[in-house]
Structure 1
Amino acid sequence: MSTDHYDVLIVGAGVAGSALAHALATITSKLRASPLRIALIERSMSEPDRIVGELLQPAGVAALQKLGMESALEGFDAIPVHGYCVVQSSRNVHIPYPDGRQGRSFHHGRFIMALREYAKRAPGVDVIEATVNNLIECEHTKRVLGVRATRPSTIGDGSKGEKESFYADLVIIADGCFSNFRNSVMGKSAREPATRSYFAGAILKDARLPMPQHGTVALVKGYGPVLLYQVSEHDTRMLVDVKHPLPSDLKGHILSNVVPQLPASLHVPIHEALDNDRLRRMPNSFLPSVEQGGKYTKEGAILLGDAWNMRHPLTGGGMTVALNDVVIISKLLAKVDNFTNWDQMSDLLSRWHWARKPLSSTINILSVALYDLFGADDECLVVLQNGCFKYFECGGNCIRDPVSLLSGIAPSPSLLAYHFFYVAFYSIWVMFAHPHLVNNPVNGEKPILARPPVWEYPYLLFKSFRVFWTACVVFGPLVWSEIRWW
């Protein structure tokens, strides 16, 4: 079976796919006599249930406003977010968003359903519930012409519906981090996502965070960080970073090793959540973006969102990058007269790739670099983590600039490099000049703090070189992955 021919076909009605369907339809309806025919295909139009994609940074909120979709954040108990609280042992530091900017946190599925409603109302958009089985390619040129998909059975006996062919001048793949078509589109340019750890997620009921309406990042000694943020009036999402190899008893690991290091107000809600609900896991993957078009990808197809580019979810930047990508590419695509002209499309994709770089590179690099510091697992990284925390305690631009980078307000890789290496040098200064714990207090003993004696300076000088080298090893490969020409 076959359907009518579309101008654009989008696979995946998640954040990127739904937003692009609405944006492209809305922009072109104002520029053309008749709107584009757009098909948005999604395997299931029921509300998705995920443990990540629940925090939208201020730059993501701004991108929604540019797309005319700001009301997608209303009507389903989304929570304003005013910044972060970083907790280390009994200390915490307040990191507010600058200039009164706000993010939002919410149940992921409710936000997706709001975005899909926008897509359904957009002119010329057909929202189709079907499972895409494979791409349709020209036998001779290998150009992507469309997709084959199976609609859900309407009989109710569990049988599969008949496969249908959907054709389009341009196919956009936005099927998420577990994309089935990434390798097909990228070919030899495809790279496998690198998974460093997993987030184990649970919902806490009526939990009291150290700072209400702030994301909480708890630094757990010897283990990965814990991220908490309120997603509705009574629900708080907890994400526990768990490194390889995964413990056989995940709940036991969290209760024994992680919970004792978290604020006391969270202990009871966490115990109740782990007793009453199952822990769900999500891989934390990193996938640098590869330039599309020309020789890099198959003609007729584009990757968008997590199918193309991923970063560590610790900083909550994924949806912000995706929505910013939609803002840029929708404006570029709206000016295209012929989507089948691949020379023109390749030039467009190159311009899109580099136009998105300031924001995407900043958030991508920061997400992994910050995870390496917050999940410190060797001596030098612990020094950098401690220096980073003390750097935040300095206040002023030591907070304003980093949180502006994290939230997407200041998309500047050069500013990120400046502060990252400032933290590295400040961490070295802290080793020499700040008091350190010199005993291991037990049975109510008072902790003793003292500056390192002079005779330790030769060793600390040697350690300083190791710390700086570790900072370079963390930051350098991330920068290279973003600036290299494919």
Structure 2
Amino acid sequence: MHSSSYDVLIVGAGIAGCALAHALSTIPREKPLRIGLLERSLDEPDRIVGELLQPGGVAALEQLGLESCVENIDSIHLGGYCVVKDGGFVHIPYPNGHRGRGLHHGRFIMNLRAAAQRAKGVEVIEVTVNGLLQCDAKGTGRVIGVSGSRKVGQEKEVEKMEFYADLVVIADGCFSNFRTQVMDQRALKPVTKSHFVGLILKDVQLPIPQHGTVCLTASNGPALLYQIGTGETRMLVDVREPLPSDMKAHLLNSVIPELPSCVHIAALEAVKNDRLRRMPNSFLPAVKQGNPRFSKQGVILVGDAWNMRHPLTGGGMTVAFSDAVILRDLLREVKDLKDWDEMKGVLDCWHWRRKPLASTVNILSVALYDLFGANEPELAILRTGCFKYFELGGECINGPVSLLSAITPSPTLLIYHFFAVAFYSIWVMFAHPRPVQLRKDNKPKLVAPSIVEYPYLAFKSIVVIWTASVVVLPLIWSEIRWWSPEEKSLRHRPMLMLVGFLTLLYLLL
């Protein structure tokens, strides 16, 4: 039995794990931290998400000293977004010359792992982690390390290994094997609304080059396209559950006809020749760690193992890098990682310090998906209003894209623009012409609502505002609570009532 001891063990050498390992290695201490970074396979990963890095994520990489990791991998500078709907499109550039990056996930990971390997005190180890080691045999005590195994020799014999540390960090991603072992499973229940089906388009010309393209389809979820390399464009198609039995037929018959004509040929070729893969689009709000009622001592969760949002807005890596920056700065002052009373204070501070950025990214991702992937009439009204809101330009573009790019992490600004879209959607209902079929033989004509329709539209306006509130208020609530969503204690209800009252007051003003 092989055993080793470290100051910090990090399970998972992905985005969050590599960034945190490198960040902790830069903490000035009399005796540098010994960090073990454990990964099941150090081969280049092959995934269809984690390929779009927002400008806020680029800035966080620079704070970590890892900005070189996006170089020499054929990454593409991205200047913003193009939103396509009903044959028209609106240009949404990043403000003030900011740039994001489109890149191959696997190549980026390999650069991050190489940077972690070069960092002082970091040891990258290829091993399959099988379980958590605790200080008592019943599995109820403090976590003191992990057990693992790896195959050695030509006969592939299994070598059992144990790794001990003052602090164990679980960063094994959205399919975490240890999430519910670290925290109460009632506190961490991912919700999956749909899946992204991914494929790569070759040598395609997007409506606006070097921009992410969001296609709002009438009968399906949104489709996202962005360059990840020279001549390669990632296409992600949102497919709701239940998934169709014949995915290729669904893409060919239902999705591609609604995409811009400039991508039709490349998309058809990709569906026929590329390997279709899918990833669940899950939402998992962050629950405060360190509370003995819900989590074990000696171990914490980071990255998608702890907090997930819809990948439509490409904010996951940005949150992970920002978390690494904050944890590095907080752990700089910790003298003893085994002192859990001190660590609980660090985790509490981390939970709230990350809120402006993490909450903005989390809420925006799910709210936008609910609008862009809507089938319900009221949400379709909000989707149309959102598109026309962007068409106004100025702050109606700069504000939302500053939130989307994580340049301006402000939940308050997010709520302002969300309800501004809701009220503008109502104005669009009353003032803008909409297609009406006057005769069976004629094509639909654009006709403005008559005064006779106003009472019905007024009632519909109330429903639209109610629908907007139903979309965003639960998301806000999921971000401000810190306990398990299963907890039914009456003492938490006043907070929910306060949130509802403040939101109503905002609407009235």
User: Which bracket does the TM-score occupy, shorter chain normalised?
Assistant: over 0.9
Q: Which of structure 1's runs of 4+ aligned residues deviate more than 4 A? A: 440-443
Structure 2 counterpart of 1:299, from 297, 302, 311: 297
Q: So what's the TM-score if we normalise by structure 2?
A: 0.92
**Is the 1:185–1:301 contact (alpha carbons within 8 Å) kept by the matching residues of 2?**
yes
State the one-letter code of the partner of 1:150: S
1 CA distance for matches of 2:152 and 2:230? 37
1:473 equivalent to 2:500? Answer no
Deviations 1:356-381 (A, max 9, x none): 00000000000000000000110000
Alpha-carbon offset, residue 421 of structure 1: 0.4
Alpha-carbon offset, residue 142 of structure 1: 1.1
Alpha-carbon offset, residue 338 of structure 1: 0.6
- Over 3 Å counting, the alpha-carbon distance change for 1:58 and 1:160 in structure 2 is farther
Alpha-carbon offset, residue 457 of structure 1: 1.1
State the one-letter code of the partner of 1:10: I
- Over 3 Å counting, the alpha-carbon distance change for 1:170 and 1:454 in structure 2 is same
2 CA distance for matches of 1:50 and 1:440? 49
Alpha-carbon offset, residue 4 of structure 1: 2.8
Structure 2 counterpart of 1:63, from 60, 64, 72: 60
Deviations 1:108-137 (A, max 9, x none): 000000100110000111100000000001
**Is the 1:57–1:103 contact (alpha carbons within 8 Å) kept by the matching residues of 2?**
yes
Structure 2: 5+ residue runs without aligned partners? 484-509
**Is the 2:10–2:168 contact (alpha carbons within 8 Å) kept by the matching residues of 1?**
yes
Partner of 1:150: 149
2 CA distance for matches of 1:258 and 1:270? 10
Deviations 1:450-473 (A, max 9, x none): 101111111111111111110010
Partner of 2:12: 12
2 CA distance for matches of 1:160 and 1:411? 50
Deviations 1:215-251 (A, max 9, x none): 0000010210000000000110000000011111111
Partner of 1:84: 81
Partner of 1:411: 409
Structure 2 counterpart of 1:263, from 255, 260, 265: 260
Secondary structure, aligned partner of 1:139 = coil
Structure 2 counterpart of 1:450, from 437, 447, 454: 447
Structure 1 residues 331-370: aligned runs within 5 Å: 331-370=329-368
Secondary structure, aligned partner of 1:231 = strand
**Is the 2:251–2:271 contact (alpha carbons within 8 Å) kept by the matching residues of 1?**
no
Partner of 1:250: 247
Deviations 1:160-213 (A, max 9, x none): 521100000000000000000000000255322000000000001111111110
Alpha-carbon offset, residue 2 of structure 1: 3.4
Partner of 1:202: 199
Alpha-carbon offset, residue 274 of structure 1: 1.0
Q: Using the aligned pairs only, state the percent identity.
A: 63
Deviations 1:316-367 (A, max 9, x none): 0000000000000011112211111000000000000000000000000000
Partner of 1:230: 227
- Over 3 Å counting, the alpha-carbon distance change for 1:120 and 1:442 in structure 2 is farther
**Is the 2:127–2:149 contact (alpha carbons within 8 Å) kept by the matching residues of 1?**
yes
State the one-letter code of the partner of 2:346: L
State the one-letter code of the partner of 1:283: P
Say how many residue pairs are matched: 480
Partner of 1:311: 309
Greater Cα shift, 328-337 or 392-401: 328-337
Secondary structure, aligned partner of 1:161 = strand
**Is the 1:182–1:190 contact (alpha carbons within 8 Å) kept by the matching residues of 2?**
no
Secondary structure, aligned partner of 2:229 = coil
Deviations 1:75-107 (A, max 9, x none): 010000100000001100000000000000101
- Over 3 Å counting, the alpha-carbon distance change for 1:80 and 1:440 in structure 2 is farther
Structure 1: 5+ residue runs without aligned partners? none
- Over 3 Å counting, the alpha-carbon distance change for 1:83 and 1:441 in structure 2 is farther
2 CA distance for matches of 1:288 and 1:277? 34
**Is the 2:287–2:481 contact (alpha carbons within 8 Å) kept by the matching residues of 1?**
no
Structure 1 counterpart of 2:319, from 318, 321, 344: 321
State the one-letter code of the partner of 2:345: D
Secondary structure, aligned partner of 1:47 = coil
- Over 3 Å counting, the alpha-carbon distance change for 1:440 and 1:132 in structure 2 is farther
1:53 equivalent to 2:53? Answer no
2 CA distance for matches of 1:273 and 1:165? 45
1:106 equivalent to 2:107? Answer no
**Is the 2:4–2:162 contact (alpha carbons within 8 Å) kept by the matching residues of 1?**
no
2 CA distance for matches of 1:285 and 1:45? 25
Structure 2 counterpart of 1:176, from 153, 173, 186: 173
1 CA distance for matches of 2:143 and 2:382? 48
2 CA distance for matches of 1:217 and 1:209? 11
Partner of 2:286: 289
Deviations 1:242-291 (A, max 9, x none): 00111111111111111111111111101111111121010000000000
State the one-letter code of the partner of 1:202: L
**Is the 1:227–1:240 contact (alpha carbons within 8 Å) kept by the matching residues of 2?**
yes
Greater Cα shift, 385-394 or 453-462: 453-462
1 CA distance for matches of 2:340 and 2:291? 8
State the one-letter code of the partner of 2:143: V
**Is the 1:137–1:143 contact (alpha carbons within 8 Å) kept by the matching residues of 2?**
yes
**Is the 1:189–1:290 contact (alpha carbons within 8 Å) kept by the matching residues of 2?**
no
